[in-house]
Amino acid sequence: MSAGAGTPLILDGITQRYGSALAVDTVTLDIRGGELVALLGPSGCGKTTLLRAVAGFLKPTEGRVIIGGQAVDHLPPNRRTVGIVFQNYALFPHMSVADNVAYGLAARGVGRAEQKARVAEMLALVRLEHLAGRFPREMSGGQQQRVALARALAVRPSILLLDEPFAALDKNLRLDMQIEIKRIQRSAGTTTLIVTHDQEEALSMADRVAVLNAGRLEQFAPPTDVYDRPETLFVNTFVGTANVLHGRLATEPGGARVVALEAGGLLPAATTLPDGTRVAACLRPEHVAFAEDGPGAEGGTGGGLDGVVEIGLPLGATLVHEIRLDGGARLKTAEARAAGARPRPPGTRVRLRPTAPERVSVFPDPRH
């Protein structure tokens, strides 16, 4: 059941109300078998509520959870084949590592001999064979997490849920565990849902990322799409960094579409929104080019932003500048730093333009 194809998971119009508060607002996700999906969003966006709904710890106000083609809404958590790894791991403190891993097997009536074999297999999978007799309190955070993972996978769940799995680990260990979990998830072929507020984690691990904000699904797409083609202003600013500039859409005499910025200057924009629409234009720092470096340095009307360098920082492999535009707004730029390159000195006048018109994402201005 678990190996190979994996079990598809469908969240069908999940809505969760707490009194009058709307924690999750009709979220629909169609997750393929064996896929690793990250639920990404700031705290309070409803991602943990969705996780608890899949596990069966809460019954959504509306909507259905469908695991492997079967609606499971009427099933209590212990009748769903869903494994979960909690943020604090929730290992049973009074049981040894082996007993923790065997717990679910015993609960499901697996015979002693098979329990033993499965425990050995799982501990080998997470590379903890040598610590089977230890108690959770005698282990490091990373080891505890691997035990929690082994415990959850021992019962061969059709769906694996990970709740902020790396939040409690220090930065070095975090990357190791991300790779480790990805490896284990691949080899087990288990459909996996990771809840996280850490965008790097979501982008690096997931096959697809579901970005949530205030209970609503903002975008559900592969990590590169979420980053390169954000569908909403929220996604654009929450995932990665973005310069947000406010303005109004217009069409140049030549037919090119531009955003006339409130702060002065023109930005090219590829959008279907009508002229005159107030918009928020987002431009990632690495998509800002200095005009003197690229084509059009002579300064056409295709859009250009004039400003002064406020500060330049050489951040190892990248060179970051903060530019104060003539209209008063500030803009961050980031570029790969060539060997020996130094930041431009403060006060340097520069002209900026996007590396390509389609790099400017335009959204209706939420302020209007």
Given the rule CB under 8 A, which residues bind another protein? 55-57, 76-80, 82-84, 86, 88, 90, 92-94, 103-104, 107-108, 136-137, 151-152, 155
Rounded CA separation 230/220 (Å): 10
Rounded CA separation 75/77 (Å): 7
Strand pairing of 243-251 and 278-283?
antiparallel
Q: How far is the CB of 172 from another protein (least distance, A)?
A: 25
Q: Among residues 80 and 287, whose Cβ is nearest to another protein?
A: 80
Q: Is 161 helix (H, G, I), strand (E, B) or coil?
A: strand
Q: Which residues of 328-347 are buried (b: 16+ CB within 10 A; e: fewer)?
A: ebebbbbbebeeeeebbeee
Q: How far is the CB of 160 from another protein (least distance, A)?
A: 10
Q: How far is the CB of 182 from another protein (least distance, A)?
A: 22
Q: Among residues 105 and 209, whose Cβ is nearest to another protein?
A: 105
Q: How far is the CB of 165 from another protein (least distance, A)?
A: 13
Q: How far is the CB of 91 from another protein (least distance, A)?
A: 8
Q: Among residues 90 and 260, whose Cβ is nearest to another protein?
A: 90
The tokens describing 276, both together, are 């005159």
> In 3D, which of 319, 328, 231, 320 has the Cα closest to residue 282?
231
Q: How far is the CB of 57 from another protein (least distance, A)?
A: 6
Q: Among residues 54 and 258, whose Cβ is nearest to another protein?
A: 54
Q: How far is the CB of 89 from another protein (least distance, A)?
A: 8
Cβ atoms of 341 and 273 within 8 Å: the answer is no
| Cα-based torsion angle of the residue sequence 60, 64, 65, 68 in order, rounded to the nearest 10 degrees | 170
Cβ atoms of 340 and 347 within 8 Å: the answer is no
Q: How far is the CB of 105 from another protein (least distance, A)?
A: 9
Q: How far is the CB of 310 from another protein (least distance, A)?
A: 48
Q: Among residues 137 and 342, whose Cβ is nearest to another protein?
A: 137
Cβ atoms of 39 and 9 within 8 Å: the answer is no
If you ran DSSP here, which 8-state letter would residue 130 be given? Answer: G
Q: Among residues 137 and 367, whose Cβ is nearest to another protein?
A: 137
Rounded CA separation 63/201 (Å): 28
Cα distances (angstroms) measured from residue 193 to each of 130, 206, 208, 334: 29, 9, 10, 33
> In 3D, which of 85, 89, 114, 84 has the Cα closest to residue 102?
114
Q: Among residues 21 and 317, whose Cβ is nearest to another protein?
A: 21
Cα 126 to chain center, whole Å? 25
Say how many C-beta atoms besides its own lie within 10 A of residue 60's C-beta.
23
Cβ atoms of 185 and 192 within 8 Å: the answer is yes
